[in-house]
Structure 1
Amino acid sequence: MTMEILLNIASGSIDKRTLRRRTFLGVVAASSFLLPALSGCTSSPANTLRIAYQQWGSGKVMENFLSSISGQFRAKHPDLQIQLIPLVAAENDYFTKNELMMSSDSTTPDLVCEDTFILKSDVAAGYLQPLNQRLEGWQPWNEVFDSAKTAVTGEDGKVYGMPTGTDTRALWYNSELLAKAGLPMPWQPKDWTQLLKDLRSLHKALPEVIPFNIFSGKAQGEKASMQGFEMLMYGTGDTLYDGDRKKWLTGSQGFIDSLDFVQKIYQEKLGPPLSRALDANLTETVYSDWLPKGGLAVALDGGWISNNWVPGAPAEWPEWSKVMKQAKMPTQKAQAPGYTTLSGGWCWAIPARTKKADLAWEYLQTIATTANMTAFNIADNGVAVRKDVAAQPKYRSYTPTIQFFTSLVEGATFRPALAAYPQISASIQLAMEKVMIGGSTPKQAAQDYDEQITKIVGADQVMGASGR
């Protein structure tokens, strides 16, 4: 199979836009990663439906869910074989593996789980087929929140995915540590100035504790861009992209101010030591060590992280809901709406090359029943993107934090899910890392970013943040 993919690259049958987003060496390396999942695969037999998804380490949430769906589906199609294809990979590697599979008739899945932030990039590369005709008159689509519909709509106005869930982000804080440092409970900083002041108080009162974690730098990948930088920048009033003018923005004071905040965290030792902050395994350390063991006071993170502490989880922590509380991430100067949150999420999509689109759609309809989506959001500790699911009593009470994180959806911002975004995101991570390590001032790093994105998208696709 690897040889076939490489021959397809050489012959040009793989869309050249893919190669602009992935280096040739990256493609070669990623193709070898596919072998464990698809060893010896050829074109899918007529009685086999292939479902591809990302598996997070040893996590089995999606596998267990799809096994249940497959059991329901086989009740209608007893002769059908369903092949689940878990891709165990870091986020960026998953995207590459997924694209490689979808680029060939012989390796394409029939249904694939897509991160909404990469969706438009895959649409631009010709990997996905629109669902508009299938969605007409289908009631579950009417239950999807408008913001989630936008996240799965391509630049051509067509819908390419069915959202399964979203997420929101906020400040998780150890109430025992903050109370020990003399901060008021419940804690809710009103703006960045107060947030930094309180973190400095924590550092002074509890020098053995890390005051704050914000994912930052290249090693943290998209977490740094979305859960870190964009949680800051979208609280300044500036944006990365002007949707009305369809231009990427340069010369943004909000961009500079966000980098300045990151620099303060690391210069003033309010965050983890640089050696840990730049460690690709930081996530595991934060969730399984620092937070449950009281080594970290405040974390800017997503609503799902308590999954790490529930019974049977790797870092089981029975007391987590009594200790860990939540506060909204404040905007820079307390401007409306008073908080910032970024939402992402995943969706199911049908690859363009599949020969079993009708069967894949039928399987997707089984996934999307109210009962099944409620069960999945609960198992995945996710935030519902559908009105019918959000109204279910089981959903509204399944975890102590779900109503807080669901309440943030109304004011959520989505990343500019455009084809160029993955490269833009990498440039953001580089800018963050420069100010973290002291290699650049925030202004210098922002100017470098402006130059990089101009090269990425072209001078005709950028404009000054002031509208010039």
Structure 2
Amino acid sequence: MKKLTRSTHVISLVALLCCLVPLLQACGSTTPSNGGNGPVTITVAYQQFGPPPYHEEEWWKSAKAKIEAANPNIKVKLMPVIADEGSYYTKLDLMLRSNNPPDVVREDSFLVGSDVTAGYLAPMDSYLDKWPDYKAQWFDSMQKITIFNGHNYGVMDGTDVRAIWYNKDIFKKAGLPTDWQPKTWADILSAAHTIKKKVPGVIPMNLYSGVPMDEASTMQGFEMLLYGTKDTLYNYQNSKWVSSSKGFKDSLNFVKEVYNQSDLLGPTNDITLSTTAGNTISQQLIPQGKLAIDIDGSWMGGTWETGGSTPWPQWKDTMGLAKMPTQNGQDPKYVTLSGGWAYSIAARSPHKDQAFEVIKTAFAKDLLGKYDIQTNGIAPRKDIVSLPEYSAIPNFPFFTQLVDFTQFRPGFPAYPKISVQIDSAMQQVMNGKSPDDAMSAFTQSVESIAGSDKTEKHP
């Protein structure tokens, strides 16, 4: 599964309207054309981009056949939106604000809160409460990720997690265990320092950091640290952003040690502070045996599989996986973060009951399981794990166990702007600023973005 990035919505809505008029007219919730006595048409909108195969389309074609065979009063109309990720967000925004929106839409879980705030999505609590499979089979964390202001607005179709990838050959040369599992942050840094000393010419570790790598820096980098402290980014109990905390400062100190120019553990700035750092890490440094430790996502193996961007047959034997520990090994001992996509019902759909029937059928174990297997997505349903084809995917049993304790980004409209300020604070300490000063600048920015009454400082 590809990693999630932040949409900046820089595409001109005016320019897109011209090319989207036919698409908007083709959307959605059409009323029966034969006097109201015929079947209801439910339109399903999803992203389609790049070369085939289009697994999303394959999944929905199978679901469409099953739905229409079981429900003669429902017709399913598939509407692939041909667009890259950022353009898809913009086109979806236009469709959902139109008078004829699609009924069912694919939503980045990262943006559910923003689209709810805009009035685009319908709450699904009453439907989900009556669907035994959802309560019994979806991991609790996967149910929570689509909740905003106490209501659920989507059903996750797949997810991802983050962990520590490490090169076992390099570890062996450094005299480190090849079944490595660090218990604290100090264990990670200690291993990196050992590698630097004993295996010259190898980059000890990668931690995504800085503004150019955008959400990868925030999510794979900083939040994998912060969520392993006693502090967090958002206080859900009183609905306030945490603009200053010991955990935030400690996380910046970790970044500072990795990128200390006098004893550098991470990649040089020309690699780290580049928008292509992710490709450099996954397609060059790791396969070439030049990077020992990488805090990264569950999708990495797909890069090295046959058909991936950088086929590397030896990766299954060379690369090890460890869970990311909390700062001092305190409960729950490990931390990970998840993103992923969900399907939601448009607030303006006049056929919400039928729309939910469509979702419920498409998300059955067999159909969703096949889709997750094809897309290398981590299953949100517990029972998909029992499918032999799923368990056979390298490392998927390991990744799926992380879903039990995974956390996720605060799904509020202010988050994308606050995320940029996290990246900025990381880059500041990389460039020599003290963690105290970087956190102070972050505090001021968050108060400006969210309002001082919506922020708090932890001792």
Q: Same fold (TM over 0.5)?
A: yes
Shift, 1:94, TM fit: 4.4
Which residue of the other structure, out of 320, 325, 331, is the alignment partner of 1:325?
320
Counting aligned pairs with the same residue, the percent is 39
Residue 212 in structure 1 maps to residue 205 in structure 2? yes
Q: Secondary structure at the match of 1:203?
A: helix
Secondary structure at 1:463 match in 2: strand
The answer to whether the Cα contact below 8 Å between 2:59 and 2:368 also exists between their aligned partners in 1 is no
Q: What CA deviation, in whole Å up to 9, does each residue of 1:191-224 have, x standing for no partner?
A: 2222112112222333322222222222222221
Distance 1:209 1:178 in 2: 11
Separation in 1 of the partners of 2:18 and 2:221?
34
SS in 1 for 2:372: helix
- Asked if 1 retains the 8 angstrom alpha-carbon contact of 2:414 and 2:449, the reply is yes
Aligned-partner Cα distance in 2 for 1:72–1:411: 34
Q: Is residue 257 of structure 1 aligned with residue 250 of structure 2?
A: yes
- Superposed CA deviations along residues 32-91 of structure 1, whole A, max 9, x for unmatched, are 46877876642537487543334565474434433443454455679754222243135x
What displacement does 1:389 show?
Answer: 2.1
CA change 1:312–1:120 in 2 (3 A) is same
Deviation at 1:258, TM superposition (A): 0.7
Q: What's the counterpart of residue 15 of structure 1?
A: none
- Structure 2 counterparts to residues 19-418 of structure 1, below 5 A: 26=9, 28-29=11-12, 32=15, 41-44=24-27, 46=30, 50-55=43-48, 57-58=50-51, 60-73=54-67, 75=69, 81-90=77-86, 94-106=88-100, 108-142=101-135, 143-155=137-149, 157-267=150-260, 268-395=263-390, 397-418=391-412
CA contact (8 A) 1:31 1:97 kept: no
Provide closer, same or farther for how the CA distance between residues 436 and 354 of structure 1 changes in structure 2, counting only shifts above 3 A. farther
Q: Considering only aligned residues, what root-mean-square deviation do their CA atoms show, in Å?
A: 2.7
Q: Is contact 2:155–2:344 with CA below 8 Å preserved after alignment?
A: yes
Q: 1:413 aligns to what SS in structure 2?
A: coil
Instruction: Name the stretch that deviates more: 279-288 or 48-57.
Output: 48-57
Alpha-carbon distance in structure 1 between the residues aligned to 2:85 and 2:17? 10
Report if aligned partners of 1:48, 1:82 keep a CA contact under 8 Å in 2: no
Name stretches of at least 5 consecutive residues in structure 1 with no aligned partner: 1-20
Q: What is the rounded CA distance, in whole Å, between the counterparts of 2:146 and 2:405 in structure 1?
A: 18
For 1:28 and 1:315, the matched residues in 2 are separated by 31
Per the alignment, do residues 322 and 98 of structure 1 end up closer, same or farther by CA in structure 2, a change over 3 Å counting? Answer: same
Amino acid paired to 1:402: F
SS of 2:280 mapped into structure 1:
helix
Distance in 1 (CA, whole Å) between partners of 2:454 and 2:142 is: 26
1:64/1:212 Cα in 2 relative to 1: closer, same or farther (>3 Å)?
Answer: farther
Q: 2: distance between equivalents of 1:170 and 1:428?
A: 20
Q: For residues 339 and 30 of structure 1, do their structure 2 counterparts lie closer, same or farther at Cα, with a shift above 3 Å needed?
A: farther
Equivalent-residue separation in structure 2 for 1:453 and 1:197 (angstroms): 33
Structure 2 CA distance for aligned equivalents of residues 55 and 79 of structure 1: 21
Distance 1:67 1:294 in 2: 42
Measured in 1, the distance between the counterparts of 2:356 and 2:168 equals 46
Q: Is the 8 A contact 2:141 2:405 kept in 1?
A: no
Q: CA deviation at 1:343?
A: 2.1
Question: Which one-letter code corresponds to 2:178 in the other structure?
Answer: M
- Partners of 2:382 and 2:394 in 1: how far apart? 20
Pair 295,74 (structure 1): closer, same or farther in 2 beyond 3 Å: farther
- Note the C-alpha offset of 1:260: 1.5
What CA deviation, in whole Å up to 9, does each residue of 1:94-137 have, x standing for no partner? 4344323322235x433222222221121111111111233242
Give the Å deviation of 1:307.
Answer: 1.3
1:372: how far off? 0.9
TM-score, length basis structure 1? 0.85
1:51 is paired with a residue whose SS is strand
Q: Alpha carbons of 1:193 and 1:375: their partners in 2 closer, same or farther (altered >3 Å)?
A: same
Distance 1:65 1:252, change over 3 A: same
CA distance in structure 2 between the partners assigned to 1:298 and 1:100 by the alignment: 42
Contact 1:55 1:89 in 2 (8 A): no
Q: Could you say if the C-alpha distance between residues 442 and 140 of structure 1 is closer, same or farther in structure 2, counting changes exceeding 3 Å?
A: same
Report the equivalent of 1:11: none
User: What letter corresponds to residue 361 of structure 1 in structure 2?
Assistant: F
Change beyond 3 A, Cα 1:30–1:306: farther
Alignment partners' CA distance in 2, 1:425 and 1:86: 28
- Alpha-carbon distance change, 457 to 146 in structure 1, aligned in 2, over 3 angstroms: same
Does the 8 Å CA contact 2:164/2:295 hold for their aligned counterparts?
yes
Partner of 1:8: none
Worse overlay, 126-135 or 201-210: 201-210
Paired with 1:293 and 1:22, the residues of 2 have a C-alpha distance of 32
AA aligned to 2:405 is: G
Give the Cα separation in 2 of the matches to 1:35 and 1:205.
Answer: 61
Q: Secondary structure at the match of 2:147?
A: coil
Contact 1:50 1:84 in 2 (8 A): no
Kept after mapping to 2: 8 A contact 1:52/1:86: no
**2:379–2:385 Cα contact (<8 Å) kept:** yes
SS in 1 for 2:121: coil
**Distance in 2 of aligned mates of 1:117 and 1:221:** 14
Aligned 8 A contact 1:118 1:422 in 2:
no
Q: Write the distance in 2 (CA, Å) between the matches of 1:274 and 1:35.
A: 42
> How far 1:369 sits from its partner (Å)?
0.8
